[in-house]
Every structure is written in structure tokens, then in C-alpha cells.
Amino acid sequence: MMRNSLLFFLFSMSVFGQTEYPKDYFRSPLDIPLFLSGTFGELRGNHFHAGLDFKTQQKEGLNVYASADGYVSRIKISTWGYGKAIYVTHPNGFTTVYGHLSKASPVIEAYIKKNQYAQKAFEVEMNPKEGELVFKKGDIIAFSGNSGGSGGPHLHFEVRDSKTEKTINPMLFGFDKMVSDTKSPIINNLVVYPIGDSSSVNQTQRPLEVSLTQQKDGSYISEKITANGKIGFGVNTYDLFDKSYNKNGVFQVRALCNGKPFFGYKFDTFAFDESRYINALIDFTRYKRTGQRVQRLFMTEPYLLSLITSNNTYGMIEVKPNLYQNLQIEVSDFHQNKSVINIPIQYSNLPATILRDEKRSDYFLKARKDHSYAKDNVTVFIPAGTFYDDFYIDFDVKDSVLFLHNESIPVHNNITITFDDATLSEADREKTFIASREGKRLGYNKTYRKGTVFTTYTKDLGAFILAKDTIAPRISNPNFVEGKWISSQKKLEIYISDNLSGIAEYNGYLNGKWILFEYDYKTKKLSYDFADDIADNGRNDLKVVVTDNLGNSATFESHFFRNKQ
């Protein structure tokens, strides 16, 4: 019943999911030629990219314009993710998002600062009322930057459905006309997968990379596939734009057998809670081993990703005697530039000479069932739906270390890990957490404690151990000399770091008043803007307090002199 329901879902998305979007409603959020460093749906770590990344000429501070009339409905200031982000809701039912900003326009910036000082926090989230921050199409709302998880100066731009909050490819709104693209996608490699114990391809039961030859017309032809049983295919591909060397994601992939489409996906729109299914779409094990994201054109265990369309085979091909099959894979960008792979498939009853490389443990995990494992003082609970496929999972506890498989298997939902240790003193328990261990390196996991029991929720596999953090964060390298005059400086800067559990909180005070320090995790720098006008004429006393996730605190105190400008 589950497979039939999913098949209807996948089919109905392709039949009923076609929507027409306004092509000339939104303007460019920038006033420079648009070049992309990221496309919609592009494959990222644990998620699909939810918008377009526009290059900003390797600069910060470019004007960012409202793409249409509307009001600011949400502002989120974060150390991570989109960094400083502004959401503008428009009367046509869509919301545009502008991320990685350096700062907002003066009116919005004043609104943000007021809230930050009221909450005494840099990271804030606000939802202005409909009439508070209203803008016309083409008004400056912000300035481009490199805040949050950005790897370089650029503007992240999204279009969302205001009611459902599903994100939609901005190219569907006419942004394709603003970006030049005459280049077809590039095919890096093709992989064929024997599916099930009795299948083989070219006499191997293991995934096999297939040689491709490019033809004069630009299409590719693979070496002939001889196989038996069920098989599936995966493709590693990227797209190029004119006047750009970035390797971007493609828009659509389709698989056809003897001319009939049977599996594919199109990056037009998706919900954010679907995004982690990227780890089911790609060959995750291969990605962890090689860094290549091979997109699989089949599902052995169906999953609900609305981007996908499929028939009742879920992309798997049954190779039988006396049945010649020609498979085609079409890879397209939004501008309808296309690359095609032709794959001849022929039945062969030759036995496999290379057998499946499957390591078996004492624990066979069925993905659609709950599982609990316990040994010594450690318990692991894995709810149904945590993994995409059934597999033999490694579980053991040795010398108080939990060994829970390895990172080659993708995890969709949280696993609950519990350690019970009554040998620790109460003082030690307060500084103890469940750490991920990789060699000698320890990583912090947010840990909850009740008495002697420590619990964490994680989407990671590997080794885990109870660890202790008693070392306070480090505060260093202020950009002034104690007791000196710094009247010409525009900012106060200081660096903070923590060696284990990570920084949880930071606060700065000038002459006893709380001041807004912005934190950039990439540089580990706190910065205060003197334009906030809190500094006194003459002597100013600075105090900075930084606390890590286990409650260890460090305090820095100094003073300087300053004349108001």
C-alpha cells in the first residue's frame, strides 16, 4: 500500500504540479550584470540550495533593491546560515529573501538595532507588522555582504510561496532572461548499479563506472552494458554559464527507456523539510569516499521527494533474455541546453566474477522499523525512517566508547544516544557531554542530563564518548592598546575562541552598559560599531564575558580613551 500511495504522489506531482508564474513582476535585486555562483536545487551538504547566488564582483556593500512592492515581514540575524537576512512579502502571494547581507538600509537597520539592544543579543528574529516597513519596487533595502555561512561575498536570493513557504526557482519568474547561458551541462561520469542479490552488470555485483564517448553532435554514448536482473543508473553532472567558470547545478534530469520516460526530477520548487532527501538522491557512500555527488536515477526504497517523477518501476530496469533496451539520460539546464547519454543494454547470463562487497554484522536494521541497541552503560534508539535503506549496522561498546557504524551511511532523522555514568562526581557531571570522536579529535554534541544519564540527539554516525570540558574560552587581540586614545577608530574588535564545546554566549559592556558585539564565526571576531554612540568622552571601561556550552566563562577587562567625533 505504501509503494502504491507513493507512486500516486510522484505521478500526481508531475501531472498536477505545473504552475504558471509571473515573468515580469520582479526586478533584479542588484544593479550590476547578473552572474551566478549557485543555482536553485544545487547539491549542497545535507540540503538542496534554495535560491540563486548572485556574484557581487568580490565586493561587499553593493545596493540590494526590493524586487517588487511589499513589506518586510521577517528579519533574521544569525551567526550561521543566511547571516543577516531580510524577507519581503509582496501582494501577489510571494515572498523574496535576501541573504548574507552586510547591513540593512538605514530605516531597517535602526529597527534591527532597537530590537538587538532590547533583547541584548546579536542573533535575533523579528516579524514586523504589515504596515511597519513598506517599500516600493527598486527601493534600497540592504547592502550585500558575506555574513553567516557564506564562503565569499555574494547575494543569496529566493522566491517563496507566502502561504506554504515552499521555495520556488527564481528562473520561473523571468530571471533566466537576466542570465546568459548557451552552454550544455557537462557529464562527468555514469555509474550503473546492480540491485539485489541476483543482479550483475558486466559480470560484477558492485556499482560500476561506465566509460563514455562524446560524439560529434555533443551527445555521449556509453560502452555496452551486459546485465541480468534489476539495475539502476546514476549520473555526475554540472552546468556552466556564459562568462563564468563556476560548476553549478543542473535544472532537470530525465531517464527514458526505449523512448519512454520512467524516472526524473526537475528543480522547480520544494519544501524545506524535503531538503535532507538529497542524501537519498545521491550515492551518499560514494560521495563520502570520493567527494563525487552521483545523482541516482532510481529508488530501491521509495522516499517522498516532490521533485521526482517516476513510473511503477521507481527507476529500476529489469534486464531479461531476448529484450534489447536502449536507455537515454537527458540532462538539461533552465535555458534548455541539453546533454544526452545513450546507453545500450543487453542481457547476459554470464556469472558474476566480482561479488557484492557487503560487510555483515550481528545487527540487521530494517529502515521502516524502530530499533534499540544496548550494551554496558550505553543505549541507542533509532526510530523508523531514520535510514533510507535496510543494512547491517555496526554497534559495539568498548572501553566506554560507543562505536555506531560509520559516516558512509546517510541519516535522515535524529538518533538518540544515552550514556549512564554513576561514577562521576556532581561537579564533573556538570562539565560532561557526549562527544563525537574522530581519532584524537573530539566534537561537541548538545547534551541533556538528568541525574547520572546523559542524552544527545544526532544525525551523525561514528564513535561517541563521554568527555569533559573545564577550560574557559579565550579572549585575545583587541584592536587597541590599554590606556591609549582611539578617537579615530570606527570599530572596537576582539577575538574569541573555545577549544572544545564551543561558544554559547558573549556579552560586552562599555562603562557598565551592554553593547552590541557582532560575531563572525569564520574569523572568530567580535566587533562593536562606535556609531551606536554609547562610548563616553574621555575614559571608557570595557568588559567582555564569553561562556562556552558547558558554562565555563572568561572575562576580559580593559580601558581606553576616546573623544566623540
Full DSSP string of 406-442: -TTS---SPEEEEEE-TTS-HHHHTTEEEEEEETTEE
Cell of 53: 547566488
Q: Are 246 and 37 in contact (CB under 8 A)?
A: yes
Q: 369-378 burial, b for 16+ CB within 10 Å, e for fewer?
A: eebebeeebb
* DSSP type of residue 183: P
Question: What is the tally of helices (H) and strands (E) in the chain?
Answer: 5, 46
Query: Which residues have a Cβ under 8 Å from the Cβ of 545 and sit 6 or more positions away?
Result: 506, 507, 508, 509, 553, 554, 555, 556
Cell of 322: 531476448
Lay out the sheet containing 401-404: strands in order across.
Answer: 395-398, 401-404, 462-468, 432-438, 441-444
- pTM (global) more than 0.85: yes
Cell of 544: 567582555
SS3 275: helix
Q: What is the pLDDT of residue 3?
A: 54
Task: Give the Cα separation of 554 and 560 in Å (integer).
Answer: 20
SS3 72: strand
Task: Give the Cα separation of 192 and 233 in Å (integer).
Answer: 4
Q: Going residue by residue through the chain, which has 565 residues, state the pLDDT in tens, using 9 for 90 and above.
A: 445 555 444 544 444 456 889 999 999 999 999 999 999 999 999 999 999 999 999 999 999 999 999 999 999 999 999 999 999 999 999 999 999 999 999 999 999 999 999 999 999 999 999 999 999 999 999 999 999 999 999 999 999 999 999 999 999 999 999 999 999 999 999 999 999 989 999 999 999 999 999 999 989 999 999 999 999 999 999 999 998 889 999 999 999 998 999 999 999 999 999 999 999 999 999 999 999 999 999 999 999 999 999 999 999 999 999 877 889 999 999 999 999 999 999 999 999 999 988 788 999 999 999 999 999 999 999 999 999 999 999 999 999 999 999 999 999 999 999 999 999 999 999 999 999 999 999 999 999 999 999 999 999 999 999 999 999 999 999 999 999 999 999 999 999 999 999 999 999 999 999 999 999 999 999 999 999 999 999 999 999 999 999 999 999 999 999 997 6
Q: What is the pLDDT of residue 9?
A: 47
Query: Which residues have a Cβ under 8 Å from the Cβ of 161 and sit 6 or more positions away?
Result: 93, 94, 95, 168, 269
Helix (H) or strand (E) holding 106: helix 106-119
Residue closest to 367 by CA, chosen among 276, 301, 441, 434: 301
Residue closest to 237 by CA, chosen among 194, 286, 296: 296
Radius of gyration of the chain (CA): 27
Cell of 254: 530525465
Q: Are 39 and 248 in contact (CB under 8 A)?
A: yes
Cell of 526: 567580535
* DSSP type of residue 565: -
Phi first, then psi, for residue 399 (nearest 5°) are 50, 45
Task: Give the Cα separation of 109 and 534 in Å (integer).
Answer: 17
Q: What is the pLDDT of residue 243?
A: 87
Beta bridge partners of 309: 264
